[in-house]
Amino acid sequence: MKKLLLLLFLFVMLPGISQEQEDLKVGLVLSGGGAKGLAHIGALKVIEEAGIRIDYIGGSSMGAIIGGLYASGYTAHELDSIFHETNFNILIQDNIPRSAKSFYEKEDAEKYAISLPFDDFKIGFPAGLSRGQNIYNLMSQLTMHLGNVDDFEELPIPFFCVAADVETGEEVILDEGSFAQAVSASGAIPSIFSPVSLNGRLLTDGGVANNYPVEELRKRGAEVIIGVDVQDSLVNKDDLRNVFDILAQISNFRTISDMKEKIPKTDIYIKPDISPFSVLSFEKGEAIIDSGRVASLKRKDDLEKLAARQSTGPRNIVIPEMDTLQISTLTLEGNNNYPRSYILGKLRLNYFTDFTFKELNEGINNLSATGNFNRINYRLIPNNDDQLYTLSLQIEESKNKSLLRLGVHYDELYQIGALINFTHKSLLFTNDVTSLDVVVGDQFRYNFDYYIDKGFYWSIGVKSRYNNFDYPVSFDFASENAELQDIGVNRIDIDYRDFTNQFYAETLFKQVFSFGLGAEHKFLKIASETLNNPNPEISDTRLFENSHYYSAFGYLKYDSYDNKYFPSRGVYFDGNFHLYLFSSDFNNDFSEFSIAKGTLGYAFSPINRFSTRIVTEAGFKIGNDGVNTLDFFLGGYGNNLINNFVPFYGYDFISLSGDSYIKGLVEFDYEIFRKNHVIASANIANVGNKLYSSGDWFTMPDFTGYALGYGIDTFIGPLEVKYTYSPEIKSSQWFFSLGFWF
């Protein structure tokens, strides 16, 4: 009887014992391939549907990014959603939102087409087109739930990734430390992303050393391995059309040769058809994901059989949602030249207050926008209290202190200009910037800036500018400023020269909001070669102005536009006040006076690709009526006009003048396709003397103008063509400009 009971017991328990013995450890290896690696998402969907529990994941490059996120707890469908919500153009190009830049940094970033390292007066080249900061930020945000996990074996699914040592070419296995830093290093595609400094080694794309780490996965205990391979195959000679195709072919020699040995080591090998795609085909992401799904469906029977040999199915991992957190402590490493106060000023960090991840990213972007750091690594480490975190910040300061920057521009007023800039950081202080612009071409100009950046504390700056142009203007302009008799001409050529020096201090309330005070010296010289001088021994009637002016000024700026030239959302305000105290008084007509002006703009996008901009401007002079060379002059088109020149559609440059004005502008911008804009504009204005004291500012507009234009946002700046018309003068004007305005 006892033997019978024992036999029955064994019969009942045997299936369970057998199944437990059969419970296979499954490893997943994911290769690199840039955008082609999105096929891994489609493959993971089918693997999940088959019911397979993944026990180990190893990956390289894009395989490390997708595999790492899957190992941290995301499902394949969640990864699909993340892909659809990610703007890969911003992610790859490391575009920093305009709102993250100070006003000095905004001006700096919207002027130059090319920036090159220039240390020791030697031109260098950046280590990559992008520093990869945006990828790191995204990885940090998506894996914040990992907390203080340092060992990747402790992830929901044990994980490792592969990088390559730039110095030795050796394979480097990353399975501990900062998760975001590890996958960023593995995915640092050469020439596109700068190498990542980690543990004293300079690391780049893991695909360079081992793009399919199946052997390492086997060493870690995987009994059955599923592999998804998105590497390129060799192409025939007819498809090798240019140097890039040839270089890609050469770089694939080794990896394709290695796969001959690696494929037999893979139990279930999945090879999506990625031939129509490149490493940067992120815009075709849905098709790439589907290619992974289609290829995996061909092996679904094998996948389901494998799932049946496991005792348990996929892990059910819930990633907690965290809307806000509180930071109690900041640890800082790597700031050898920039003080802690400078870092804190840029971060805008307040301890023990609710802090969103968006606000943290804004602070990181503020630091990144300075250009003083190659990379900013950070981790949020939970304290004993789940609501409090330590922000562990590790920064890598840029070794490039000097830059050579270039730009080009053409417009109707200044004609052709080539911009050469030399910028040097930390000349006198660790957080200062010295910049010299020299414009050579039809009109020589220069602009010098020295700025001590104190973040949100009071910053100090010095500016010096020389500006000149030759342009035919209405005779009224000249006669008003030189008391000329009517000589029967409508227009004369003037030579306008401006030399301005400023000392100022400003503080930022936010990156988009600044207040400043300063002192200014201005030298104005206005002359004409059109006119003859009949009595040169008495006076020079060709010289209208030749005076030095000394003033105190203040300004208030707010700029949340998302784009300087084609804004689709945001608010803009620029108000300034000048009190002119002294003058050398060339025309003997000076007495103290003030000039105030302000611009308020609002941009919004009611529907996709369609934007509306509404702008209103006003300005007036208080005091002396004798000096009119600093009056307001309306007409033409421009984005960086000096003094009180104001663009106005329908009229040529310097066509309308007065000591006060009010102007309104409405623009409708339709982006017909990426970076291509069709813009319809209408502006109205009243311009004259004493508009506000007489009440004439609040009457029907005396001047109107309309414009229809086409603009392209290029890497050298906007290319714009505008046709403008004014019904009052029944005349049209064409305006053409190319490049950033400077």
| Closest among 696, 595, 602, 680 to 646, alpha carbons compared | 595
Element (H, E) at 137: helix 133-142
Whole-number Cα distances in Å, 167 to 200, 520, 664: 11, 52, 60
What is the SS3 assignment for 125?
coil
Residue 625 is among the residues annotated as catalytic for this protein:
no
Structure tokens at 52: 């397979």
Whole-number Cα distances in Å, 478 to 174, 473, 534, 661: 73, 8, 17, 20
- Give the residues across from 549 on adjacent strands: 522, 583
Distance, CA of 242 to chain centre? 30
What is the SS3 assignment for 350?
coil
What is the rounded CA–CA span in Å between residue 278 and residue 299? 25
| Closest among 617, 192, 137 to 380, alpha carbons compared | 137
Q: Are 432 and 450 in contact (CB under 8 A)?
A: yes
Which residue type does 17 have? I
| Closest among 199, 161, 192 to 62, alpha carbons compared | 161
* Dihedral sign of CA atoms 341, 345, 350, 356 in order: negative
3-state secondary structure 591-610: CCEEEEEEEEEEEEEEECCE
Q: Which bin fits 343, alpha (ψ -120 to 50), beta or left (φ > 0)?
A: alpha
| Closest among 630, 513, 490, 618 to 560, alpha carbons compared | 513
What is the rounded CA–CA span in Å between residue 639 and residue 297? 56
What is the rounded CA–CA span in Å between residue 481 and residue 546? 11
DSSP state of 349: -
Q: Are 512 and 348 in contact (CB under 8 A)?
A: no
Structure tokens at 367: 């630091």
| Closest among 449, 547, 435 to 498, alpha carbons compared | 547
Looking only at the bridges linking them, the beta strands covering 645-646 and 632-634 are: parallel
What would the DSSP string read from start to end of 151-163?
Answer: BGGGSSS-EEEEE
Residue with tokens 């800039």: 421
Q: Which bin fits 715, alpha (ψ -120 to 50), beta or left (φ > 0)?
A: alpha
Which distant-in-sequence residues (6+ apart) come within 8 Å of 341 by Cβ?
455, 457
Residue 61 is among the residues annotated as catalytic for this protein:
yes
Candidates 60, 61, 568, 681; catalytic one: 61
For the beta sheet containing 324-333, the strands, ordered from the edge strand earlier in sequence to the opposite edge, are 354-356, 324-333, 388-397, 373-382
Candidates 205, 232, 432, 437; catalytic one: 205
Strands (E), 624-675: 632-634, 645-646, 656-658, 660-673
Which residue type does 706 have? Y
Residue with tokens 């490039």: 400
Structure tokens at 532: 């003859």
Structure tokens at 3: 């033997």
Active site residues: 61, 205
